[in-house]
Structure 1
Amino acid sequence: MQIETPPTDKPREPERAERRGLVIVNTGDGKGKSTAAFGLALRAFGRGKAVKVWQFMKVPSARFGEHRMFERIGLPVEGLGDGFSWKSHDLEHSAQLARDGWAKARDSILGGELFLVVLDEITYPLIYGWLPLDEVLDTLRNRPAHVSVCLTGRRCPPEIVALADTVTEMTKVKHAFDAGIPAQRGIED
């Protein structure tokens, strides 16, 4: 490790632009995409902002840690899918759930009542061809100016990356699963 001198100059210029909603992408093969989005949702909700989390791959009855906590504090989260694609008994049904879920999410973005909309794991229905990319792009472009949208998932389409204001790519350096350690409740749920 190399020791650094702490910066003494302010690292950025003062704001010159008007505040507006952002498009934020958390993508990559590393852990933490959804976790970062949930942290963002909690931050906004803690400031009294209207927030909604849509989970494209989780079932509506899911009871993971984030669901239990969001329920306690009143932050709305809704599962739109039927779980992992390899567990699906009918991929066309999974695709239809994604399309139906997208209609709800799109309306919540365009409605303008929310400050932040999280589209958790939306990249999967996009890359599987279940959702029309052009419609998602149009929604992001035409959303009310104050609405921020955070999209998560691996292999985010480059068209969304190009449109986004902030993109973070989580890079896996090491993962316990690769060493044979199973997912841990409270860490990976």
Structure 2
Amino acid sequence: MTETLLRIDTSARHEGSVTRELGDRIEAKLNAGKIIRRDLADQVIPQLDAGWLHAAFTSDEERTTEQRDHLALSDRLIAEIQEADTLLLTVPVYNFNVPASLKSWVDMIARAGITFRYTESGAVGLLDGKRAILAIASGGTEVDSAIDHATPWLRQVLNFVGITDIQVVRSDKQAVDPEASKARAETDLENLAA
């Protein structure tokens, strides 16, 4: 049983979404004591702008009220991750990559000094000890193929902030071979540790 699960849905579709369906099945298998939900189709995460960047690179004690307001959503999103033991990201592959909403979410949570820090030997993630499960679906892109810019990027981002225990449940290439896609998902679900 997972203690606290942070579920992040990214599909623009609520009905007929393979990733949301996979997410439901994974969530049931994990049987979390507490679930934090964030649906990026329902809440638009703004892109970074000059005000946000200036606020993020101003020391906490020197930030103005306006700068704190710029970072308020970022602070909430980071607090959700910090509280979670497991992250479940349900991600359709749109045009070989993640939905733009997920990229905006990543930009909000990758904060120097909070989720990672720089050292002489490079960046060190500060969110270690957590697990991530990626539920990935695509029409024609094979997970981890040369044209998949979603799955490797997500692994890189999660590793960057310290999350290295990452499992993938995939239902890829649905438009190419729906039965094989479904079979891959079933195998991945069976192999997923609760």
Identify the TM-score tier after normalising by the shorter chain: 0.3 to 0.5
| Bigger RCO (CA 8 Å, 6+ sep) | 1
Tell me the TM-score normalised to structure 2 length: 0.37
Larger strand share, 1 or 2: 2
Tell me the TM-score normalised to structure 1 length: 0.38
